[in-house]
Structure 1
Amino acid sequence: MNMTASLEWDHSGEAPVLQVVGSWTLDQRKPELSEVWRQGGRLPEQLAVHVNVAAWDSSLLALLRRLQRLATEQQVALNLQGLPDGVERLLEMADSPSTQAKEADKPAYGWVARLGLGALTVTTAIANSCIFIGEVIQAIGRLFAGKARMRMSDFWMAFQQCGPGALPIVALIASLIGLILAFVGAAQLEAFGAQLYIANMVAIGMTREMGALMTAVIMAGRTGAAYAAEIGSMQANEEIDALKTFGFPPLEFLILPRLLALLVSMPILTVFADALGVFGGFVIGAGLFDISASQYLNQSLEMLTLTDFLIGLFKSLVFAVLIGLIGCYYGLSCGRNAQAVGQATTNAVVSIIVALVISDAVITLICTQLGI
């Protein structure tokens, strides 16, 4: 049998027959189909194509598909003969529209059914969240008891990512926030000749509110999204199922190191942001209103109390818990495809920011009612 790819006409019978012989593989040189097709002249309504190949791959399938298209254009019916095993099935799959995924039609629900489905979805989400939080608390309890299966190397790696790795962006944003607070306050205080009190406003605003909140927002977009994407990718690749199969608890092996790293790094980043925010306010005070460094520092220290500082640190701890839990929860509840990973990451960031704002408002309201 000829091992080269050959495509030729056989006019020995009553009707022409197209012969496909040789080795139809990617590494073989193949004849030009359009030229061979024109050599056939006027074709009958039923054209026989005899396939007798020594070896084949996708090149043969591509040839047959092109033959089918040419025959359809000239309204000629092909009669494929001698197809190798599997080729006929592959051609049927290529022709069948059922091979393409079809989205199922959504049933038309009434408003009562939609309300019930919405309530069921919310109830399921709350139940899953409570189960997740309970399992995390149990894992923390096993950690304090010395029974948790957590590697310290994972903790230090997570701390490196959410601690020192976040310093540049936190420094930039905190400095700009201090500048903005000082500039906005100066526009109002200048009318009363009280520019020195810029230091008071910036110091209180950064330590009690903006330092912890802006650091948390940065960590939500940086670390919370990373947690959701990392764990979601592991879920999609069935790596978490593999951990369970080998007896490694995913919450102790994956969640605890990330949560503890956030609990350690967030207060440090918050103190760093407070200091740079005060410095940003000093830049405006010294640059626009000639406030000396000693005056600005003394005024800030006189206004600040340990309570203000501790409130900011407490908020940073609450924010760290929210970022870690929500990011990891959406990662673990992710689907099994790439689209689900992206959706989980988006939902995690949105949910974290909403939770941060609500928790900050609640803590501020409680502190106001308690007079602290």
Structure 2
Amino acid sequence: MGKSIKISQEDTGTLHITLAGDWLLTGGLENPATGIERVSHADIRQLVVDGRDLGEWDSTLVSYLLPITAAAQSRRIGIENRDVPEGVVRLIALAQAIPARPGQLDSKHKPDFTERIGSRTLSVYSQFIAFATFIGTTLVSIGHWLRGKAVYRRADLLAFLSDCGPASLGIVTLISVLIGMILAFVGAVQLERFGASIYVASLVGLAMAREMAPMMTGIIMAGRTGAAFAAQLGSMQVNEEIDALKTMGVAPADFLVLPRTLALVIMMPLLTIYANLMGILGGGLVSVVMLDLSWTLYFEQMIDSVPLRHFAIGLFKSVIFGILIALAGCYMGMNSGRSATAVGRATTAAVVLGIVLIIVFDALVTIVTTVLGI
């Protein structure tokens, strides 16, 4: 038997909603707009819901009656349930008893421009303070490690070293070789016009040593390892494993953040050296094929024009990049919400924050070294 609805109004200001038939999801949902509109009339003082002819029902019936009941309650209209199943009444009461989730927007209140700016400013400030506090906690953990008092598993450190180092060689090789080839190709197109093709070696060596090798390696590790750190720690947050560590008296920063940070700080300079080599080889391949330079001439020109200080600057950047990536990934994971959606957002935020920090710090170092003439 299909569902049916009959809405009638008495002269006494009583609105009757008579429900009949089977209210099942297979029969589709009913729009409660008509009932809400009738309840909103100024002359309605009583709502009667009659369910004596109801058959089978499921959440379809609850979804229909809930907004009508809420509209009646908001206008302080009395509600009388006649032969309505007790389960329906309880489900409606339960749905109305659940408070709004934190952060849920109130559709009736739309903040103006200045309020939105203020709220956003306070949010950014609180996040900055939280991140600065996390950095301080990590520095304390590093101090514990230097004094030999940090509580962590060496097996975890070795696993992270393997994941950050050998497991990353494939993608670092591919990107570095391609970057070196692109730099050499762009340089060859321009320098050939002036008969200065030999300086392609200088261009590739300088660009890879100071900028491209550490930056591209950092971006790769931010997208690969930083995201993995955020996902791992976010999942531990969901499963309450971090709370368990705190309960046992183990500092999460020592046990979870420290080995990940050490692994990246150790492996980033090594990966940068490897990226330099691959990029230089990629640039040399283009130079040999397009410009008819010999490998010997290519490397001699690079050695003469690119001093070791440029490689040292790149290695310095790589160490800082490793710290920034670890901090971004671990911070987002440790402060993740306790749901699958929150873990996904934390992972995305870790990658974005890591890349932004890398580019900002790289720009600062480039400006400082340029001013100092290094």
Query: TM-score normalised by the shorter chain: which range applies?
Result: 0.7 to 0.9
The answer to whether the aligner puts 1:127 opposite 2:129 as a matched pair is: yes
Alpha-carbon spacing, 1:68–1:155, altered in 2? closer, same or farther (3 Å): closer
Q: Which residue of 1 aligns with 2:216?
A: 214
Residue 303 (structure 1) aligned to one of 293, 305, 322: 305
Sequence identity, in percent?
Answer: 44
Residues 52 and 84 in structure 2, CA contact (< 8 A), matched pair in contact too: no
* 1:189 corresponds to: 191
Question: C-alpha displacement at 1:92, in angstroms?
Answer: 4.8
- Name which of 222, 241, 252 aligns with 2:254: 252
Q: 2:207 is matched with which residue: 199, 205, 212?
A: 205
User: Could you say if the C-alpha distance between residues 284 and 96 of structure 1 is closer, same or farther in structure 2, counting changes exceeding 3 Å?
Assistant: same
- Write the distance in 1 (CA, Å) between the matches of 2:258 and 2:236: 16
Q: C-alpha distance in 2, partners of 1:333/1:68?
A: 40
| Shift in Å, 1:259 | 0.2
State how 1:228-243 maps to structure 2 within 5 Å: 228-243=230-245
Partner residue, 2:106: 105
Q: Which residue of the partner structure matches residue 162 of structure 1?
A: 164
The SS at the match of 2:250 is coil
- CA gap of 1:350–1:65, structure 2 versus 1, over 3 A, is closer
Number of residue equivalences: 304
Q: Corresponding residue for 1:361?
A: 363
Contact kept in structure 2, 1:233 and 1:341, CA below 8 Å? yes
The reply on whether 1:324 has 2:311 as its aligned counterpart is no
Return 5+ residue gaps in structure 1 as ranges. 1-44, 50-62, 70-77, 82-87
Q: Deviations over 1:336-362 (max 9, x none)?
A: 111111111111111111111111111
Q: Distance in 2 between matches of 1:164 and 1:241?
A: 32
Per-residue deviation, 1:104: 4.7
CA deviation profile, 1:52-107 (whole Å, cap 9, x unmatched): xxxxxxxxxxx6549989xxxxxxxx9699xxxxxx53785389865999755253
TM-score normalised according to structure 2 size = 0.75
- Is the Cα contact below 8 Å between 1:199 and 1:296 reproduced in 2? yes
Distance in 2 between residues matched to 1:48 and 1:359, nearest whole Å: 69
Consecutive unaligned residues of structure 2, counting only runs of 5 or more, are 1-50, 63-81
Distance change (3 Å), C-alpha of 1:46 and 1:220: closer
| Residue identity opposite 1:93 in structure 2 | L
Contact 2:324-2:354 at 8 Å conserved across structures: yes
Distance in 2 between the 1:108 and 1:91 partners?
A: 33
**Cα pair distance change 1:195/1:104, threshold 3 Å:** closer
Shift of 1:304: 2.0
1:276 aligned to 278, 302, 310, which one? 278
Distance 2:59 2:95 in 1: 18
**Which deviates more from structure 2 when the two are superposed, residues 164-173 or residues 120-129?**
120-129
In the alignment, which residue of structure 2 is the partner of 1:93? 91
**Aligned CA-pair RMSD:** 2.8
Match of 2:20 in 1: none
Residue 254 of structure 1 and its aligned partner are, at CA, apart by 0.3
Change (3 A) 1:89 1:168: same
Which of these two proteins has the greater Rg computed from alpha carbons? 1
Q: What amino acid does structure 2 have at the position aligned with 1:89? A: G
SS of alignment partner, residue 247 of structure 1: coil
Would you say the 8 A contact 2:172–2:217 is kept in 1?
yes
Q: 1:359 to 1:100 in 2, by over 3 A?
A: same
The answer for the alignment partner of 1:339 in structure 2 is 341
3-state SS of paired residue (1:155):
helix
- Post-superposition Cα deviations, 1:18-73, rounded to whole Å, max 9, x if no partner, equal xxxxxxxxxxxxxxxxxxxxxxxxxxx95598xxxxxxxxxxxxx6549989xxxx
Give distance in 2, aligned partners of 1:365 and 1:339: 39
- Aligned residue number for residue 314 of structure 1: 316
Deviation track 1:266-301 (CA, whole Å, cap 9, x = no partner) reads 001000000000000011111111111111111111
Report the AA paired with residue 87 of structure 2.
Answer: R
For the residue of structure 2 that corresponds to 1:137, the secondary structure is helix
For the structure 1 residues 226 and 48, does the alpha-carbon distance in structure 2 shift closer, same or farther, using more than 3 Å as the test? Answer: closer
> Offset of 1:124 from its aligned partner?
1.0
Separation in 2 of the partners of 1:153 and 1:353? 28
Mapped to 1, the partners of 2:203 and 2:93 lie a distance apart of 72
Q: Is the alpha carbon distance of 1:80 and 1:98 closer, same or farther for their aligned partners in structure 2, counting shifts above 3 Å?
A: closer
Contact 2:198 2:293 in 1 (8 A): yes
Instruction: Report if the CA contact (8 A) 1:330-1:348 is conserved.
Output: yes
Structure 1 residues 110-119 or 240-249, which shifts more?
Answer: 110-119
Residue number in structure 2 paired with 1:54: none
- Which stretch of structure 1 is more off in the superposition, 260-269 or 224-233? 224-233
Q: What whole-Å deviation, never above 9, does each CA across 1:186-225 have from its counterpart, x for those lacking one?
A: 0010001111111111011101110000000100100111
Of stretches 318-327 and 172-181 in structure 1, the one that deviates more from structure 2 is 318-327
Residue matched to 2:8: none
Query: Residue 33 of structure 1 corresponds to which residue in structure 2?
Result: none
- Tell me how far apart the structure 2 counterparts of residues 319 and 68 of structure 1 sit (CA, whole Å): 57
Shift of 1:316: 0.2
